[in-house]
Each structure stands twice: as C-alpha cells, then as structure tokens.
Structure 1
C-alpha cells in the first residue's frame, strides 16, 4: 500500500465511530473490551496465581536456593518473548483467529503437562512452552485492537482493557492462596488450563476475523524482514517500545521478588495476597482514570507526566531505602506512588508505538512485544536476583529504569515532552 494510502487509511481508522468500529469484531464495545481483557489477563494469571505457591513448588522439586524459584516466572517470560517474533508475521498472513486459537490450545496443554512434571527442569521447560502459547495470545490481542482502533481511541480501549486486566492480579494471588490451603501446587496449573479453555469458547464462537484479506502480507523471509525493518526504523515506535520495556522491567522485578519482600521482609504471611491485590487494584484505577482523560488531554500529556511522577517517586523511595530499613507503611506508600503511574504509562506508550504501524499490525505487535517482554524480563530477572534481604535493590532498579525510560521518550520526541503531534496524540 502506498504511503499516501496508508495515511488516509490511518486517518479513516482514527475517525470511525467507536460503536461502528467495535462492530467489525462482531461484538459490542463492552463485549469487545471484556474479551480482549480476558485474553490479556491470561498472561497475568500465569504469573500472579502461583506467587503464593512458589515456596512449595521449590520444596517439592528440590530447589534449595530461594532465588532460583524466580526462574518459574522467567522461563515463561522468555518463551513468550521470543515466540512473538513468529506469531506476529504469521497473524499478518493467516489472519488473527487461527494463530490465537492455536496459542490458546498450546497454553492449556502445557499447563496440564506441568501437573505431571517430575523435576524442576521439566517444569521450566513446559513453562517456556506455555510462554510460547501465550505469545500468540498477546500478539493477536494487541493486533486485533489495532485493526479496529487508532490514536487516542486505541489508548482509551487499551486503558479499559488494562483496567479489567488488572482485576486478575487483584484476585489471582488470593485464588492461589486458597488453592494452596485445600490442595497441592499442581492444582494451580489445572485452574489456569481451564481458564484458558473458558476464554477459548467466546473467541471461537463470537470473535470475527478482523484482518481484511487485502491487508494480509506474505509469510516469506523477505516480507517478514521488511516488516521488521518498518518497525525498528520508526523512531517513535522503537523508542516508545524501549521506554515501555524498561518500565516493564521494574514491574517484573517486583513480581519476581514480591513473595520475598512482602513475606520474607515484612512477614505478611497469608496477608500477602491482600497487599499484592491492593497494588494491582491501584494500577487498575490508574488505567480507568487514563481512559476517562485521554480523549481530552491526549496520550503525551498524560503519559509524560506519569513518567516524570514514576521517576520522582522512585527517587524518593531509593533515598529512603538507602537511609535504612523501611517500615511497611512507608514502603507501601512509596511503591504505590510509583506503580500508580504505570497504569497511565502502559496504555499510552503502547498506543503511541503502534499508531504509525497499523498496516503491519501483527508484525509490529510481535516486534514490540518481543522487545518489551525480553528486555523487561532480563531487567526484571536482574532486579529480582539482586535481592539481598532489603528493598534497596528494588528501589534502585525502579529509579534506574525511570531515568532510562525518560531518555528514550526524549529521543522519540526529539527532545520535547508534552507536545501532541496531531489530534490523535
């Protein structure tokens, strides 16, 4: 498609009435948001529901170093990260539904396989495979949203998706804790397998194919490389992706060490899921707030302010933690102040990264997802492995990624913050 046609097409996408655009999926707006959120929440439940069971999983499979339990999360993230590079171009060729259904099936089967693993190495292998299945789910979900929405509308929809998505971290650790009371850790994977199957039903029956035949791209090496080139040579897309990636690293770093911090340092025990849920709920509130404000103020004004707030809150947290052990209330306030901003940053940064790439949405989603997941996973693993019995490594990690993200945003914006590029910004 010539550049001029792409521009006209992109403007048309941004100006379509939301209700009419949602109908392209075969679903009402609320049904569409709910289904996209259910799909995105699969990744959250894959991580958060097992946090209360990490200690028992490690003990059951002979893991002696408590930091090694974090690999259960890292293996999943790396499987998801690398596989996105395959599923994105595949969904640009075959359409969205077939790869999505295949990913859901692989995810569910891997979860069932984990129930029967005899060793920790086998568990890590199937967690990696489960992440491969999740890659298709993540890539196609973002691609479907971009097929239908653009600009501030996409940021609004992604904020609402993230708001519902955040309900899972609110309830998942409590579900995991409940499972651990009445059953062994194996039942956790049975539950997430059935959840994936439950989501599969409305995808198979209700969701229409959102990629028009005329917009499909060949699945050849040259076409795939050309798609990758389009993504990585777009300054705004690339550097907003990198900014999101490093912020993700902070979130993954906390998730990796959350059980050690909240239970090991602060002795919360069975109250761990409650505090974890409160943090997730705060991010859900931030996502909802963003969805109500983004059409009025724009993606850049909200997300740039949130990034500055994240960096400032992390700096205060780091300074306080370096001064000595933090009491639980102070830790909660400072961490919450930083992570409230995440709920605003994520949806807007992703929408701005995807905005110029609608004509290669599947490939773009895969490259963006790969960079975000792998970079975030590596940074998160580094922060998690630096755990030393205090919250200092976590706070230093948060401040560092805040500074890096700010640098990437400045590069993306040519050195200027808060300036909208067009009515969609």
Structure 2
C-alpha cells in the first residue's frame, strides 16, 4: 500500500488503467456524430429522444456496478474484468445489428452493464495499492491519459461513419476492446489476495454497504458526483445538437468537441501536481465553485442579451471541462479513502449511486433542450451550488 505519494506506477499500468476507465467514454463519445442518423434509421419520432443511446448505456452501467463490485471482492479483480469485456463485445454486436429502436436501447443497456466491470474495477485496483492523496494523484494521471478517449472517439466515430455508416462505430468498439482485454490479462497481476476476499453472500454484502454508508464524507462525495455528473451527461447527449443545430458548425462539431476535451486532461494534470500540497477536498471544492460561478454568470448574460455567442460558449465549455478534470478524480479518491477493505463494493456503490442521481438530471437537461443552451447552464449552476453547499457542510462537521 502506497499512501505517501513518493512514487508513481509505470507507464504500462497507467495506460491499462486508463483503458479500463475509458471504456464508458469510448462507448458513448464514438457515436455522438451518429445520434441523429441512428434515430432516423430506427424510426425515432422526436430527435431529442435519440440521446437515449447515451443515457441507456449509463443506466446499464449503474445497474451493472451493483453486481460487479461484490463479485470483484469475492472472486478477484481480473476474472470480473475479463468477463465484463467479453459481454461488452457481445453487446457491441447486438447494437451493431439492431433493427428497431427498442432493440437498440436494450442492447445499449446490456452494453453498459458489461462495461461497468472494467470501469468500476479499475478504481478498486488503484485503491488496492494506493490511498488518500497518493490515490488522487494516480487517478489524476490516469484521467489525463483517459481524456484521449473523448478527444479521439468522436473523430474515430466520424471516420467510421464515412466508411460504413453508424453501425461501423460498434465494430470499432470491438476492435478496441479485444486488444485491451488481452493486454490487461497479460500485464496486470491480481491485486486482491485470496485471504482478503469477501464471500458473495447477502449478509456480507449488506455489511459492506453499511460500512460504506457510515462514512459521511463518502456519501457526500457520492451525491456530489451525481449532481455534477447529471448536467455533464446531458452535455454529452446534446453536444451534437448544440454545435450543429444552434451554432451550425456541421462536421466541425467533432473538432470543437475534442478541443474541449483537451482541457479536461489539462485539469487532471494540474490536479496531479497540486493534490499532494493542497489536498483533495480543497481542489474539488475550488473547481466546483468555479464551475458554478461561470455557469451562473453565463446564464445571467443570456437573460440580458438573449443569446450566447459561439466564442463565448467555447470559453465556457473549455473552462467547465477543465474544472471537471479536477473534480471527479478527487471526489473518487476522497470517497474511497476509508474503504480499502471493501474497495470493489465501495467503487460499485459510488459509481451506481452517482449515476442514478445523474440520469434524471441529464434527462431534464436533454428533454428541455431546444434552440438554446439555457438548460445546460441552469443545470450546472444549480447542481454546482447544491454540491458546493454539501461540501462546505460536510467539511464543518
């Protein structure tokens, strides 16, 4: 266990953990350019409903995490990750050949359930070997590598669409998943010894849940991750419409979206440099405060001026994504710090719980989307203010 922050793991470890962590981002961002086409081809009446391709995946991830966390604590990290990848590949194939909208949504839920395994267990693997500020530093570096996914995935998706239509995006995910799971199997050792495993029994799981919920700061971090994640998922679902329908940038959408993603990596790298000195709670709180003020200010500007110019939206976008790069890694590490003995279950509860909070908020942002970015700004301003209040209240106790 490394808690001092004296050393960093090797490049191979960081790259593989980033791959595991990025599976969800890849599976959503790669098809952002195709959402409209998928909706039209499968007979979706309201184009806003095509964002269900994104939210169904996140719903599946939320459900799956509640299962894979206890399984990883009972049977080890590696077997559950490998099975998760295998089922994820099956989900990609089902999505690729979906010929109706209900089948597509169901396949995406299944795909999300499977993708929850590598996503959650990557956090548990890091927690098995690091804790506290040291874990936050490692997670920040992993997130900086991970951010290549939302940078490259829309570009890759656009290229695949030109080659083979929207169904080719799922084939691309298969081609990424197969070498990823093989590399993980060969390069990463099991991090949970047999003597530290917890039986997969209802009583044992219930005891672990009680321990997770007994940590006030961990619960606050879960809620805050959900509050901030809601409008962020809403942003992912409506990004194509914002860029193409409101600002008319056409196929340049993927470029502008990727530019924003670069700033999340910058935020993560800055966090890795500062976290050992300033701490997780301070950095997360400062980033949430900045995100809240920026969103409220732009919302106020919109009320006065009636519109948000494209350059002003881009300034806000790169700024809020920079803050996102400093928020989630710190919150995850802060939440996991006292729970190393139930790391798999804890990571699952945080992932699932925050997603269940995020999804209704994201549906509100997506559902009210029209010809304005106001729902997005309101979502971040209100969620950010609530999050900041919770963080401040928890810090006083």
For 1:7-18, what aligned pairs fall within 5 Å after superposition? 13-15=2-4, 18=7
1:101 lines up with 2:82 in the alignment? yes
Asked if structure 1 preserves the Cα contact closer than 8 Å seen for 2:22 and 2:119, the reply is no
**What's 1:240 paired with?**
221
**What's 2:353 paired with?**
371
1:64 to 45, 70, 75: 45
The secondary structure found in structure 1 opposite 2:97 is: coil
Asked if structure 2 preserves the Cα contact closer than 8 Å seen for 1:354 and 1:361, the reply is yes
2:133 to 149, 152, 155: 152
Q: Deviations over 1:237-283 (max 9, x none)?
A: 00011111111112101111111111110001110001100111111
The secondary structure found in structure 1 opposite 2:338 is: helix
**What's 1:421 paired with?**
none
Instruction: Quote the RMSD (CA, aligned, Å).
Output: 1.3
- Whole-angstrom CA distance in 2 between matches of 1:204 and 1:192: 18
1:353 to 332, 335, 342: 335
For 1:86-235, what aligned pairs fall within 5 Å after superposition? 86-235=67-216
Q: Which runs of 4+ in 1 moved over 4 A?
A: none
Structure 1 unmatched ranges of 5 or more: 1-11, 23-28, 416-425
Structure 2 unmatched ranges of 5 or more: none
- Whole-angstrom CA distance in 1 between matches of 2:383 and 2:321: 13
For 1:275-294, what aligned pairs fall within 5 Å after superposition? 275-294=256-275
How far apart are residue 129 of structure 1 and its match?
0.3
Asked if structure 1 preserves the Cα contact closer than 8 Å seen for 2:263 and 2:319, the reply is no
The secondary structure found in structure 2 opposite 1:399 is: helix
Q: How high is the TM-score relative to the length of structure 1?
A: 0.91
Number of aligned residue pairs: give it: 396
- Whole-angstrom CA distance in 2 between matches of 1:317 and 1:16: 38
- Whole-angstrom CA distance in 1 between matches of 2:385 and 2:143: 24
1:309 to 290, 315, 333: 290
1:362 lines up with 2:351 in the alignment? no
- Whole-angstrom CA distance in 2 between matches of 1:100 and 1:293: 31
**What's 1:299 paired with?**
280
- Whole-angstrom CA distance in 1 between matches of 2:146 and 2:4: 26
Asked if structure 1 preserves the Cα contact closer than 8 Å seen for 2:5 and 2:133, the reply is no
How far apart are residue 320 of structure 1 and its match?
1.5
How far apart are residue 18 of structure 1 and its match?
3.1
Q: Deviations over 1:208-243 (max 9, x none)?
A: 100012211111101101111111121010001111
**What's 2:319 paired with?**
337
How far apart are residue 64 of structure 1 and its match?
2.0
- Whole-angstrom CA distance in 1 between matches of 2:394 and 2:71: 28
Q: Deviations over 1:336-355 (max 9, x none)?
A: 22221111111111100000
How far apart are residue 13 of structure 1 and its match?
4.0
1:265 lines up with 2:246 in the alignment? yes
- Whole-angstrom CA distance in 2 between matches of 1:368 and 1:116: 33
How far apart are residue 182 of structure 1 and its match?
2.1
Residues 272 and 147 (structure 1), Cα distance of their counterparts in 2 relative to 1, 3 Å cut: same
- Whole-angstrom CA distance in 2 between matches of 1:384 and 1:408: 25
- Whole-angstrom CA distance in 2 between matches of 1:369 and 1:180: 31
- Whole-angstrom CA distance in 2 between matches of 1:331 and 1:51: 19
